[in-house]
Structure 1
Amino acid sequence: MGIKDFLQSRRDDAELGQGLWRRTHDRFVRGLDRFHQILERVPAGPTLEEIVPLANELADLLPRVRIVAAEAHRLAPSDSQDIPASPTGVYSDLHRALSRAGNALALTAEALAMTRCAGDCLNGCTRTESIARRIDTVKQHISDAETYLEQARCEAQQTAS
């Protein structure tokens, strides 16, 4: 572990804690890393040219996930694997949405791996359709998480009042 990794780990501890919210964030990061590892093995050609913009879309989602996870940790700190309690269960919904985003990202990496193994595409098929659909699913789960985060903010304000 180099100094850069150490400093990033300290920053992550401060912003995300070491519990539930950190775990959901890290799951998303691992899925993104896996997607890019598979992408590195895609041979140059038309398929790669179609997939690179999709990979960029996925990478652009990481700051949104980090913001949601960090804000969730700020509102309901969790240094365990237990979901914080709330009157409306919003933290459970928020955790579920973030977990689903990470799982959907892992399925996106799997879809990319399957396109590598599919062989030649006959009759003008598009290999990237499956990947694009899965990316849309990841985006939807992140949007859901952002919605739940807003609900959690409102709940926290009402509780504080």
Structure 2
Amino acid sequence: MGIKDFLQSRRDDAELGTGLWRRAHDRFVRGLDRFHQILERMPATDTLEHLIPVANDLADLLPRVRSVAAQAQNIAPSNGTDVPASPTGVYSDLHRSLSKAGNSLALCAEALAMTRCAGTCEQSCDRETVVSRRVQTVVQHIETAEELLGRALAEKAELASA
């Protein structure tokens, strides 16, 4: 581990803690890294040219995931494995959405790997569509997490004013 990695780890600890919000963020990062690793190993084809913007779109989601995780750590700190309690269970739902985003991104990488290994399609199939559908699922989970974060912030403010 170099100094750059060490400093990034310290920043992550400060912003995301060491608990479940950090793990949800890191799961997303690992899925993103895996997607790009698979894409880099694909032979140059028309399909590859169409998937590069998809990979860039996925990378553009990382700041949103980091923001949700950091804000969640700020309002409901977690340095363990338990989801912080809330009257409506919004933290649990928020964590579930972030986890699903990371898991769905891993499935995107898997779908991409399968397109590479699948050979020729005997029936009409569009491999790009399969990957694009998985990407849409990732986006939906992040949008849900952002919506739930808004609810969590409102709940926190309501409890503080009561």
1:1-161 to structure 2, matched below 5 A, reads: 1-121=1-121, 125-161=125-161
Q: TM-score, normalised by structure 1?
A: 0.97
Structure 1 residue runs of 5 or longer lacking an equivalent are: none
CA drift of 1:119 comes to: 1.5
CA drift of 1:126 comes to: 2.2
* 122-131 vs 49-58, greater mean Cα deviation: 122-131
Q: Is the alpha carbon distance of 1:152 and 1:43 closer, same or farther for their aligned partners in structure 2, counting shifts above 3 Å?
A: same
Q: TM-score, normalised by structure 2?
A: 0.96
Q: Structure 1 vs Structure 2: percent identity of aligned residues?
A: 70
Distance, in Å, in 1 between the alignment partners of 2:13 and 2:133 is 33
CA drift of 1:14 comes to: 0.3
Q: 1:52-105 CA deviation, whole Å, 9 max, x = no partner?
A: 011011000000000000000000000001000000000000000000001100
Secondary structure, counterpart of 1:80 in structure 2: coil
CA drift of 1:125 comes to: 3.9
Distance, in Å, in 2 between the alignment partners of 1:156 and 1:124 is 51
Distance, in Å, in 2 between the alignment partners of 1:124 and 1:44 is 21
Q: How many residues align?
A: 161
Secondary structure, counterpart of 1:43 in structure 2: coil
**Aligned AA (1:100):** K
Distance, in Å, in 1 between the alignment partners of 2:86 and 2:7 is 33
Distance, in Å, in 2 between the alignment partners of 1:125 and 1:103 is 24
Secondary structure, counterpart of 1:86 in structure 2: coil
CA drift of 1:120 comes to: 3.2
Q: 1:12-65 CA deviation, whole Å, 9 max, x = no partner?
A: 000000001000000000000010110111100101001101101100000000
Structure 2 residue runs of 5 or longer lacking an equivalent are: none
RMSD of aligned residue pairs (Cα, Å): 1.1
Distance, in Å, in 2 between the alignment partners of 1:156 and 1:140 is 24
Secondary structure, counterpart of 2:48 in structure 1: helix
CA drift of 1:127 comes to: 1.3
Which structure 1 residue ranges, 4+ long, deviate > 3 Å from structure 2? 120-125
Distance, in Å, in 2 between the alignment partners of 1:125 and 1:18 is 43
**Aligned AA (1:51):** L
Distance, in Å, in 2 between the alignment partners of 1:106 and 1:28 is 8
Distance, in Å, in 2 between the alignment partners of 1:25 and 1:81 is 14
Distance, in Å, in 1 between the alignment partners of 2:54 and 2:29 is 16
